[in-house]
Structure 1
Amino acid sequence: MSVRQSLLAILDQGPCYGYQLRAEFDRRTGSTWPLNVGQIYNTLERLERDGLVEKGDVDEQGHVYWQITAAGRADVSAWLQSPVARAQGTRDELAIKLAVAATLPGVDVSAVIRRQRSASLAQLEELTSARYTGADPDGPEHLAWSLVVDSMIFAAEAALRWLDRVEHRLDAHPQHALRLELSTERPKRGRPAKAPA
């Protein structure tokens, strides 16, 4: 998720100081992605370096208000009009863990899957029983919160379906056929060749 773009989009609504930006981000995401103030200020400094925001007025409490520049507005517009490109490679720890575990001798991969399924089911239960605690259940904050929570619910459901598929595929192979011994071939130096697209 692009914290950078989200903060820029909020600043496109008007000048804000750091804590205010964090509060606005929380309101718009249902507090499902906690940001610390240090992260906000580091992001603002990079945005300023890139010419997308600038420091504005300072109030009587010493809050520095940041404001978006014309280049920042163009950046926000481009972000909002562009589809999100999902990563094609996987850096998903669970996928890597199961792929490695399935090829190691002596690992009970079914037990690994059972533990993960149990944790995923607990997460799904927690998400489906979550209730909005804001003041207006028909307001924009509730809508923002529910969009993010729905996304998390669908991701948890997809993870459970994927675990079912993994288990089915592993059941179709005898355990000894999955074992992958260490290669005796010496690897070449340098980066591995990219897989064909």
Structure 2
Amino acid sequence: MSVRQSLLAILDQGPCYGYQLRHEFDRRTGSTWPLNVGQIYNTLERLERDGFVERGETDSQGHVYWQITDAGSAEVAHWLASPVVRGRATRDEIAIKIAVAVTLPGADAGGILRAQRDESLARLEELRGSLSDDLAATVITQSMIFAAEAEVRWLTHTEQLMAQHPQHALSLELATERPKRGRPARII
């Protein structure tokens, strides 16, 4: 999730101070992704360093208003017009945990998988129960619901796959050979 571009997009609507940006971000995302104000100020400072925002007026209460530059507006337009490209390599903690578990002697990969599915189903029900009339919150919550549904389907599929192919479950002891220096080959 791009906090950087989201804050820039909000600033493209007009100058804001830090807490105001936090409020606007919450309002526009249905408060589904809480940001702390320190993260906002750190992001603003990086945006200033990169020439996308600049400090503007300070009001009587000491609020520093940040305003977008032309380069910042161009960055917002580019971000909004560009699709999000997901990386090829998986960094999914659940997938990695199960993949490692099926290779560990004595690990109950099936039990780990079932416990995760139970947790994922509970999260799915929690998400379904949190839907509201707020459009921004609904868009984000439904995205999370669809992702949780896909996770549950994948976990169920993986459990079936493990049951159908028990001969493919590995039990790897530590290798006795020492690897050479350098990065391992990428598996795609």
Is TM (by shorter chain) over 0.5? yes
Which SS does the other structure have where 2:161 is aligned? helix
> What is the CA-CA distance between 1:182 and the residue it aligns to?
2.0
- Establish whether residue 58 from structure 1 lines up as the match of residue 58 from structure 2: yes
Equivalenced residues, count: 188
Query: How far apart are the structure 2 equivalents of 1:55 and 1:14?
Result: 13
Contact persistence 2:10–2:25 (CA under 8 A)? yes
> What is the CA-CA distance between 1:174 and the residue it aligns to?
2.5
> What is the CA-CA distance between 1:176 and the residue it aligns to?
8.0
The RMSD of aligned alpha carbons is 1.4
> What is the CA-CA distance between 1:70 and the residue it aligns to?
0.1
Query: How far apart are the structure 2 equivalents of 1:120 and 1:77?
Result: 36
Query: How far apart are the structure 1 equivalents of 2:50 and 2:119?
Result: 42
Query: Which ranges in structure 1 are unaligned for 5 or more consecutive residues?
Result: none
Cross-structure match for 2:41: 41
**Aligned equivalent of 1:164, options 156, 161, 174:** 156
Letter in 1 for 2:93: E
Letter in 1 for 2:2: S
Query: How far apart are the structure 2 equivalents of 1:60 and 1:42?
Result: 23
TM-score normalised by length of structure 1: 0.91
Which SS does the other structure have where 1:13 is aligned? coil
Query: Which ranges in structure 2 are unaligned for 5 or more consecutive residues?
Result: none
TM-score normalised by length of structure 2: 0.96
Letter in 1 for 2:23: A
Cross-structure match for 1:12: 12
> What is the CA-CA distance between 1:175 and the residue it aligns to?
6.3
Letter in 1 for 2:74: A
Query: How far apart are the structure 2 equivalents of 1:175 and 1:192?
Result: 26
